[in-house]
Structure 1
Amino acid sequence: MTTLIYSIHEFAALSGITEYNLRYFDKIGLLPAQRDTNGYRVYHQRQIASAQMVVTLQNARLSNAQIKTLLKDYTSRHSLAMLKQTQQQLTAYIHTLHNAQTFIACQISQLETIHIINNQLDTPFTEEKKSELVGVISLETQHIGDFFQRASEFNAPPNWYLHHRYGFLLAEKDIQSKSYPLDKFYCTEPSIIDHRSQYLSAGRYISQYCSGSLENNQKVWSFVQHIRQNGYRIQGDILIENVSGPAVQTKKSDFLIKIMVPIN
């Protein structure tokens, strides 16, 4: 049977390895080439399988030195142990990639939402909200950072606020023209829900997106006054929820929040 011989150019096309890398692999003895009568590199057909294995093992994040060792004595116990270890590392890496993919998908969704919201800032609208289970943290403080610190005490991951919604529950009577107390924090982070849960009220809300932070945002007072002046009766806690915050913006004036006022 005639053995097929390929030039480096032909072998590069067959194997998917660039000619530059083939020369390098030949130099380090990872995928040795033979020489024809003119001194040019040539490859045998049987080396296609070896070339594909090299590429696959590189994709598995093995170094060239590890691959060379592996291929030198492929059926040894050492090679078996190396492949098992590589499999474990790949499983962990795939998990990491999956988390990164989920995070990026969430960020894309959030940014798309922000682009839509920017076109409807300070515009009231009505909505019907379903009852929702959330976790609640109660503190007597005016510093929003204290609530995040408290959340960390319930085994919430450090970056939980990048993946879960959060905001404050405000009593109508506590909202003043320039301030309101931050003493009841809610979020959808599971460990906080396990610590202390509460259902957000279902029903009809008048809502509005606006700029600024969750702390003492004067637009909350203005919005509540607007609702009163239009003859609506507020029933239940007012929700102010983060839409975009520290992970996206750098100035509090650039933050976006959603104000949700329950009405009869």
Structure 2
Amino acid sequence: MRIGELAAQAGTTTRTLRYYESRGLLPARRNGNGYRAYDEADLRLLRQIRTLQDFGFDLEQTRPFVECLQAGHPEGDSCPASLDVYRGRLAELDECLARLHEVRDRVAAQLARAELRVEAEHPGGPEPHCELSTNHAKTKES
């Protein structure tokens, strides 16, 4: 298949395919008339790259998976280098989640402190209204 067909089937652009080619991720084969020629294996390779990018992998992190496919493995993640990339990405995600949990805990603590202050300042009364509040503004207009 030609580059336009491959791009359409892979859900990407010809420009992206040329970029992958320049980075050595997509083989640059030419047929007799000089057009780039691709096959189903190239489509599978592109789908692997797209899936990994959807998971947040950068383009360079996809290289071991591409090389694994090109080496003839039916799945791009069955090689040791691919597994190492998975492990590294999982460690990055775990670290990110830990940071998010820490921030969430700090925001929750700040909210609790703010609610205590509001209750102390207005015991049993209604919550204070902001002048910019849409409900308050509608009340003033009525």
- With structure 2 as the length reference, what TM-score do the two structures score? 0.64
Instruction: Answer yes or no: is 1:23 the counterpart of 2:26.
Output: no
* Corresponding residue number in structure 2 for 1:85: 88
The aligned residue for residue 60 of structure 1 is 55
Matched, 1:241 2:119: no
1:90 CA displacement: 4.4
Kindly tell me the number of residue pairs found equivalent between the two proteins.
123
Q: Distance in 2 between matches of 1:46 and 1:59?
A: 20
The residue identity in structure 2 corresponding to 1:157 is R
Following TM superposition, by how much is the alpha carbon of 1:256 offset from its aligned partner in structure 2, in angstroms? 8.0
TM-score normalised by length of structure 1? 0.38
Matched residue type, 1:81: D
- Whether the aligned pair in 2 keeps the contact of 1:15 and 1:48 (CA below 8 Å) is yes
Bigger fraction of residues in helix: 2
- Does 1:254 find its partner at 2:132? yes
- 1:63-74 to structure 2, matched below 5 A, reads 63-73=58-68, 74=76
The answer for the alignment partner of 1:35 in structure 2 is 30
CA distance in structure 1 between the partners assigned to 2:17 and 2:63 by the alignment:
14
Report if the CA contact (8 A) 2:64-2:81 is conserved.
no
1:157 aligns with 2:100: no
In the TM superposition, residue 91 of structure 1 has moved relative to its aligned partner by: 6.0
* Unpaired stretches in structure 2, ≥5 consecutive residues: 69-75, 137-142
1:3-36 deviation per Cα after TM superposition (whole angstroms, max 9, x unaligned):
xxx1111111111121110111111111123111
CA RMSD of aligned residues (A): 3.7
Structure 1 counterpart SS, 2:37: strand
Shift of 1:85: 2.5
Alignment of 1:46-195 (within 5 A): 46-73=41-68, 74=76, 75-90=78-93, 157-158=106-107, 160-161=110-111, 168-169=118-119, 184=120
Indicate how the Cα distance of structure 1 residues 49 and 256 shifts in structure 2: closer, same or farther if over 3 A, else same: closer
CA distance in 1, matches of 2:129, 2:83: 51
- Structure 1 segments of 4+ aligned residues over 4 angstroms from their partners: 90-97, 164-167, 255-258
Contact 1:242 1:256 in 2 (8 A): no
Percent same amino acid at aligned positions? Answer: 24
Pick 1 or 2: higher relative contact order, CA cutoff 8 A, min separation 6.
Answer: 1
Gaps of 5+ in 1: 1-5, 98-155, 170-183, 187-236, 245-252, 259-264
